[in-house]
Amino acid sequence: AQSVAQPEDQVNVAEGNPLTVKCTYSVSGNPYLFWYVQYPNRGLQFLLKYITGDNLVKGSYGFEAEFNKSQTSFHLKKPSALVSDSALYFCAYTGVNRDDKIIFGKGTRLHILP
Amino acid sequence: GAGVSQSPRYKVAKRGQDVALRCDPISGHVSLFWYQQALGQGPEFLTYFQNEAQLDKSGLPSDRFFAERPEGSVSTLKIQRTQQEDSAVYLCASSLQGTGGLLWANQPQHFGDGTRLSIL
């Protein structure tokens, strides 16, 4: 089955340190990959997407993600974490067909420690 | 505001009652999606509208769930004879147009803040 996996339920990072939130995918063909962030009691906010082209994608709030085809990964990264980055992060993908739905991972809770 | 608006934000109902959840998409957005987000999980697709047409309802968990978008703007998700397993956050999202593939990828979905439904 086609899916995305977020292997970590929670990630703790000290403020100012680099952060990585992991995502791997298992899809046939070329995936379209996304990262969304969800703050408490709020809907999801789009961060960035990979469609094609450069493997390093830059997005909102200083986040970036690297598409790695050989490792089937799309990890979210930020060079220097802020306390305000603490939230729930979802990796998602959709396929190339018009009827393909967006499939979300189960989410990773990111805690930035002051 | 310019975002997707959902109401009510919180809904508590007794098992067996009917509930109706409302979504006001961003003006001009053709596509509207409903998702169910259980505690500790990612959102799961329920149904999709393109204008007033419900093109995909494959994610609706049972025939107790019904969604409509009669004039191609506001949408209502109705749950009849609610059960405890219906307790979740229901998210609505809209996008300019398209679903799946490159059309969707170029026009990401904009989410509302959700309705938290609790069935007692």
B113 and A41 within 8 Å at the Cβ level: the answer is yes
Burial class (CB in 10 A: 0-12, 13-18, 19+), A41: exposed
Query: Testing the interface with A: which of B41, B58, B60, B96 to mutate, by most A Cβ within 10 A?
Result: B41
pLDDT, one tens digit for every residue, chain B (120 residues):
579 999 999 999 999 999 999 999 999 999 999 999 998 899 999 999 999 999 999 999 999 999 999 999 999 999 999 999 999 999 999 988 765 555 566 677 899 999 999 999
CA of A19 vs chain B CAs: smallest distance (Å): 21
Cβ–Cβ < 8 Å for B104, B95: yes
Residue A49 pairs in a beta bridge with A34
Q: What is the pLDDT of residues A52-104, one digit of tens each?
A: 888 999 999 999 999 999 999 999 999 999 999 999 999 998 877 767 788 89
Q: For chain A, what is the mean pLDDT?
A: 91
Q: Pull the structure tokens for residue A82.
A: 């802020």
Checking if the pLDDT of A49 tops 80, the result is yes
pLDDT value at residue B64: 97
Mark yes or no for CB contact B100/A92 under 8 Å.
no
User: Which of A21, A99, A101, A109 best probes binding to B when mutated, by most B CB atoms within 10 angstroms?
Assistant: A101
Helices vs strands, H then E, count in chain A? 0, 12
